[in-house]
Structure 1
């Protein structure tokens, strides 16, 4: 099952910059793991307000519970608000047409 997930990261005021950098490095490592397992399919960074990071991701999970566990495993999770949309197949999806699936 695919999900479109919007993550908004807001660093709490007064957070030690060293902690921010460590969490960002840990986040990159965790994202690499999720890419390797095929759960994080695509990721984008749309424009955001200063001091706020917005991340759009296309995720694959068996169900919303599995997705939630993956999101909560992100090192930046304590600073994240998220919005998740489950995605259904569309008959005109170019990816579906290219793969020959009907």
Structure 2
């Protein structure tokens, strides 16, 4: 299954720039691992308001429980809230293989 995850991060007040940089580094490393594992497929940056820290991610997991384990393994999870949308294939998706006649 694929899931679209809207991730909004709020850095706790009083967090130093060094702590933020370290957290971003850990998040980038974990994201790279999840990509190699096939769990993290894509990341996008939507239009942002001033000071907003937000990412959209496309994840693949067997089910919601597996996705939860993946999201829980990401360091920034401590600072963010997430909205998860399960995705189902659309019959007219141009990324799907063409249908064979008679099928």
TM-score, normalized by length of structure 2? Answer: 0.91
Q: Distance in 2 between matches of 1:53 and 1:77?
A: 13
Alpha-carbon distance between aligned partners in 1 of 2:61 and 2:20, rounded to the nearest angstrom: 28
Matched with 2:62 is: 62
Structure 1: gaps (5+ residues): none
The corresponding residue for 2:25 is 25
* Alpha-carbon separation, structure 1, partners of 2:51 and 2:79: 12
SS for the counterpart of 2:75 is coil
**1:61-80 maps to which residues of 2 (within 5 A)?**
61-80=61-80
Aligned positions, number: 100
2:100 counterpart of 1:90 = no
Q: Normalising to structure 1: TM-score of the pair?
A: 0.92
The separation in 1 between residues aligned to 2:50 and 2:60, in whole angstroms, is 30
Larger Rg belongs to: 2
Counterpart secondary structure, 2:9: strand
Partner Cα distance (2:48, 2:79) in 1: 15
How well do the aligned residues superpose, as a CA RMSD in angstroms? 1.3
Structure 2 residues not aligned, in runs of 5+? none
Moved over 4 A (4+): none
Residues of 2 paired with 1:7 and 1:69: CA distance?
A: 15
Describe the superposition over 1:55-85 as per-residue Cα deviations: whole angstroms up to 9, x where unpaired: 0011100000110111111111111100000
Q: Which residue is 1:42 aligned to?
A: 42
User: What CA distance in whole angstroms lies between the structure 1 residues aligned with 2:13 and 2:46?
Assistant: 23
